[in-house]
Amino acid sequence: MISKQFLTAGEAIFTASNAAGKHFTYRVSAPDDFNEESPIWFVSVLTGPDNTRNYTYAGLLRGDGKVYQTKGSKIKEDAESWKVAVWAIKKVWNGETLPDGYDIKHVGRCGKCGRPLTDPVSIDTGLGPICAGRS
C-alpha cells in the first residue's frame, strides 16, 4: 500500500483495486502556490483512455486528511469513484490495514517528480531517493 508521504508528495498517481477486478486510478497534485501552513491537494480521477491526461477533478484533500467536494468538482458524491477515493485516501492517511483482496498501489513513478522508479526501496515507497531525502 502507498504511504501518506507518497500521497502528499505533490504528483502522486495511484490505483485502488479490489479482488473483483474493479479499480480506479487517481492523481493527487499540489497547487503551484502550495502552502505548508494550510495544505491542500487536488484530487482527480482517471476518466478516459489517456492515463496521462484524462483526469477529471473530483475535490480537495486538506491537511486534516479528508477529501472535500468543491464548486468545481466534476465527480459527484454519489459516484462510485468518489466513494472509493474518500475510502482509499482515509485508509492511507490513517495507515489503516486494507481488507483482504483490496490494494492501493502507485504507478511506478515518483510521487514528487514523476521519474520512473528503479531502486527497490523507491518502488516500495513510491518516492525516489532524492525526493525522499535518501541520496
The separation between CA 53 and the C-alpha centre of its own chain, rounded to angstroms, equals: 15
**Whole-structure pTM value:** 0.93
Cell 486534516, located at residue:
64
To the nearest whole number, what is the mean pLDDT of the chain? Answer: 95
Q: Reply yes or no on whether the pLDDT at 135 is more than 70.
A: no
Q: Between 52 and 85, whose confidence is greater?
A: 85
Distance set, CA 117 to CA 45, 60, 103, 123, 127 (Å): 22, 27, 19, 6, 8
Q: What is the mean pLDDT of residues 80-87?
A: 98
What is the spatial distance between Cα 33 and Cα 20, in angstroms, rounded to a whole number?
39
Name the grid cell of 54: 484524462
- What is the average pLDDT across 98-119? 94
Tens-place pLDDT, residues 85-101: 999 999 999 999 999 99
Q: What is the distance between the alpha carbons of residues 51 and 55, in angstroms, rounded to a whole number? A: 8
pLDDT for res 100: 96
Q: Note the pLDDT of residue 30.
A: 97
DSSP 3-state assignment of 13? strand
Q: pLDDT, tens digit, for every residue of 9-25? A: 999 999 999 999 999 99
- Single out the residue of 135, 105, 101 nearest to residue 123, CA to CA: 105
d(CA 8, CA 12): 7
pLDDT at 34: 95
